[in-house]
Amino acid sequence: MIAVLVNSLTAVGYFRQILPTWELYRTGNNVDMVLINDISLEVLSKYKVIHFHMNLIVYKPFRDIFDNLKLLGIRLIADIDDYWILPKTNPYYETHKVKNYIHSYINKIDCITTTTKRFRDELKTHTKTKIVVLPNACDSSNPQFKINKVESKKFRIGIIGGASHLYDLDVLAGFQDYLDMSDKQIVLCGFDTRGVDKPEFSIWNAFEQKLTNDYKGLPKEYVNHLLSYNTEEYPYINDMYYKRNFARDIESYASFYNEVDVLLAPLENSKFNNMKSELKAIEAGTMGVPIICSNVAPYSDILTNRENALLVGNSPEKWAKAINEVIKNYDKYRFNLMSLIDDNYNLHTINKKRIKLYDI
């Protein structure tokens, strides 16, 4: 039997553990998901393979039984999807603890799974452990990945991503100043006030301030509505150049893509970012939304400029020009991206590699 340990209900846990494991189970494979609270030697000793995310190594009860699992001959596979040396601009820089354990455990495991060939090559400089690339993938048959477009009179420019990408927004700062925004709308998806004492302490306020240049050009009444953190939709939202979409749970998160017409994926060119996966392109392609990316890895490794995406440099004028280009050739960028992702990042195809890896 195979156990996949689930220690997170974030996007990482969903795409790297929950979604692929559920699909394997649904199609008749002998795979169990084990939640973090159930992790014990008694529970795990019955499995022949245990697949876990490397972040779990910070959890002391797992570290305490790690060597015993090895002594039982259980095959231990660690998934490493992010470079463990975070830049100081990352909100999790101070609290990220995996770096304290990675070098002690990376050579103890039997196999590593990771997201991209580029990150695999980086991992090879740290360990001689076998490494298998299992890209992130979406399941188009999953209800949340159903294309069901919400209509709008405006062309909606979407920002969909995690809180760690705040400083990546700087590469497109002010792009709206080079656009006619009368028929366009910036849509920030995932605004979250949970986990803070007061909503004004949320890092998502900084996202909003960057995207609106401190609410420049927005009516005072609407700014007051935003700063009240009212979850009800503003009555005149369709007249605004900016819209806030509050966070959704991980099983309905993809529905954001039905409420945007293009996705912007800005990334600073750093080693940490270069090692990330192409998940935004995979999500957008699954949901039929064109993407405009920074011309850096990982996007430049799989996307072709002006064919299935637009890859741009760090200039607001270039981002604005790319948005206008997508509007003019919308179907070209939409369908070419969909085709690329369906051919290469379909969960059913990627799970065939998992089955081979697990030997089931």
Give the start-to-end residue ranges of the domains of the chain.
Answer: 2-137+346-358, 143-344
Residue keyed to tokens 């065939």 = 352
pLDDT at 8 over 80: no
Pairs from 191-197 (Cβ < 8 Å, separation ≥ 24): 191/244, 191/245, 191/246, 191/247, 192/163, 192/246, 192/247, 193/229, 193/246, 194/247
Strand runs labelled E in 62-120 = 75-79, 111-114
pLDDT at 90 over 90: no
The DSSP secondary-structure symbol of 192 reads -
Q: In the structure, what pLDDT confidence band is assigned to residue 137 with cuts at 50, 70 and 90?
A: very high
| pLDDT tens figures, 100-111 | 899 999 999 999
The interaxial angle of helices 316-328 and 330-344, nearest 10 deg, is 90
pTM of the predicted model as reported, rounded to 2 decimal places = 0.94
Do the Cβ atoms of 100 and 57 come closer than 8 Å?
A: no
Range 3-29 average pLDDT: 91
The mean predicted confidence, pLDDT, of the chain is: 95
Distance CA(22)–CA(142), nearest Å, equals 11
pLDDT at 131 over 70: yes
| pLDDT tens figures, 247-258 | 999 999 999 999
Q: In the structure, what pLDDT confidence band is assigned to residue 355 with cuts at 50, 70 and 90?
A: very high
Torsion of CA 212, 297, 99, 353, to 10 degrees: 120
Residue 12 is predicted with a pLDDT of 84
Distance CA(135)–CA(118), nearest Å, equals 11
Give Cβ neighbours of residue 46 (< 8 Å, ≥ 6 apart): 1
Domains 2-137+346-358 and 143-344 share a fold: yes
| pLDDT tens figures, 190-242 | 999 998 999 999 999 999 999 999 999 999 999 999 999 999 999 999 999 99
Q: Would you say domain 2-137+346-358 falls under CATH 3.40.50.2000? A: yes
Residue 224 is predicted with a pLDDT of 97
Residue keyed to tokens 């991209």 = 116
Residue 59 is predicted with a pLDDT of 94
Of 78, 135, 133, the residue nearest 110 (C-alpha): 78
Range 303-310 average pLDDT: 98
Lowest-confidence segment of 82-91, 172-181, 245-254, 269-278 by average pLDDT: 82-91
Residue keyed to tokens 């692929």 = 20
pLDDT at 98 over 90: no
Of 259, 244, 234, the residue nearest 155 (C-alpha): 259
Kindly give the residue spans of alpha helices, DSSP state H, lying in 182-297. Answer: 204-212, 220-227, 271-274, 279-286
pLDDT at 360 over 70: no
Is the bond into 298 cis (omega within 30 degrees of 0)? Answer: yes
Distance CA(317)–CA(312), nearest Å, equals 10
| Structure tokens, 184 | 């366009």
**One CATH from 2.40.10.120, 3.40.605.10, 3.40.50.2300, 3.40.50.2000 for 143-344:** 3.40.50.2000
Residue 87 is predicted with a pLDDT of 83
What per-residue string of b and e applies to 228-264 under the rule 16 or more CB within 10 Å gives b?
eeeeeebeeeeebbbbbbeeeebeebbbbbbbbbbbb
Residue 93 is predicted with a pLDDT of 72
| Structure tokens, 106 | 């990376």
Range 162-184 average pLDDT: 94
